[in-house]
């Protein structure tokens, strides 16, 4: 059974991530953990002249959190019933990142699926805010970040960006291979670079990667960077009408370029489709 963690703040973003997760894994035996981490605003609490009033606010938070989680679970049980799926609620006080860390180890979580926060106007993934914070701090679990405007139907096409600089072990790709096996997805290996003369190591990694996807319709593409790596990935994915972008998280290489490119200071990566980040345990 797959263990899937679903952090929620009861917003449109998190609701869409929850619904995407249960549709994406509709075929698999899953236990979904609905996590809400509540953290009182210091500014709001400090505004109360009465310590009794402040205490009442603190005391009301756990109950409100548990009640809202119960409502979410009830709705999912009634309107999205799937005999393969069960739901459990988790309400904790404190920082969300810390709560996610604890849940991953305590419940042996396989996948973390979260909504995104950032620009509500564009309703896209904005790496540079909450998404980046989670990505940089949670490195021991597969992550799927879902834009609030994304309406999941099928996983027909996955774009897999790479520079071929790292060997990709079989186990690293397993979470992605499970999905493309189930959905019979097409995979586009996407090489984005300034130039395409591959070293011996890169060529070897390329052949191994093609071998990893050999059971599935796979094509190899290359695009020269004109602005940023992130923009090249976004443009290519939109042109191909991809349903997901998947990549491995190398701590100081390709993934860093997505979160630290200086060309766009605050908004370094945006996509209209979910982003799957595979932890590199290789």
Residue-wise pLDDT tens digits, 200-240: 999 999 999 999 999 999 999 998 887 777 788 888 999 99
**pTM reported for the whole predicted model:** 0.86
Listed by start position, the domains of the chain span 2-146, 157-279
Structure confidence by residue, pLDDT tens digits, 79-95: 999 999 999 999 999 88
Name the residue with tokens 């996955």: 158
2-146 against 157-279: fold identical: yes
What pLDDT score does 227 carry? 76
Would you state the pLDDT for residue 250? 63
What is the reported pLDDT for 165? 85
Q: Using 70 as the pLDDT threshold, list the residues of the chain that sit under it.
A: 40-59, 117-132, 250-270, 281-282
d(CA 141, CA 104) in angstroms, rounded, equals 7
* Domain at 157-279: CATH code: 3.40.50.620
Cβ partners under 8 Å of residue 219, min gap 6: 186, 187, 188, 189
CATH class of 2-146: alpha beta
Return d(Cα 1, Cα 92) in angstroms, integer.
24
Q: Contacts by 63-66 with C-beta closer than 8 Å and gap 24+?
A: 64/38, 65/36, 65/38, 65/91, 66/91
Q: What is the pLDDT of residue 232?
A: 84
The residues with which 91 forms a beta bridge, in sequence order, are: 36
Tell me, what's the pLDDT at 117?
A: 60
Q: Which stretches within 80-109 are classed as H helix?
A: 96-106
Check if the beta carbon of residue 146 is closer than 8 Å to that of residue 117.
no
Percentage of the chain surpassing pLDDT 70? 79
């Amino acid at each position: 059974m797959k263990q899937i963690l679903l952090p929620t703040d009861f917003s449109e973003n998190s609701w869409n991530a929850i619904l995407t997760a249960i549709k994406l894994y509709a075929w698999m035996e899953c236990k979904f953990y609905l996590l809400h981490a509540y953290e009182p605003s210091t500014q709001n609490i400090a505004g109360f002249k009465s310590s009794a009033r402040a205490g009442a606010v603190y005391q009301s938070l756990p109950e409100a959190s548990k009640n809202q989680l119960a409502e979410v679970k009830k709705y999912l049980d009634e309107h999205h019933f799937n005999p393969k799926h069960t739901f459990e609620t988790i309400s904790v006080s404190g920082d969300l990142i810390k709560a996610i860390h604890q849940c991953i180890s305590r419940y042996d979580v396989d996948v973390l699926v979260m909504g995104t926060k950032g620009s509500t106007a564009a309703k896209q993934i904005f790496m540079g805010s909450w998404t980046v914070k989670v990505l940089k701090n949670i490195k021991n679990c597969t992550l799927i970040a879902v834009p609030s405007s994304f309406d999941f139907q099928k996983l027909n096409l996955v774009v897999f960006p790479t520079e071929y600089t790292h060997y990709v072990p079989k186990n690293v790709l397993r979470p992605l291979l499970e999905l493309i096996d189930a959905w019979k997805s097409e995979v586009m290996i996407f090489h984005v670079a300034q130039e395409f003369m591959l070293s011996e190591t890169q060529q070897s990694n390329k052949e191994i990667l093609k071998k990893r996807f050999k059971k599935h319709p796979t094509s190899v593409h290359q695009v020269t960077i004109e602005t940023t790596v992130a923009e090249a990935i976004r443009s290519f994915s939109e042109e191909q009408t991809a349903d997901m972008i998947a990549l491995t998280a190398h701590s100081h290489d390709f993934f860093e370029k997505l979160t630290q490119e200086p060309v766009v200071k605050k908004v370094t990566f945006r996509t209209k489709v979910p982003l799957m980040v595979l932890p590199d345990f290789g």
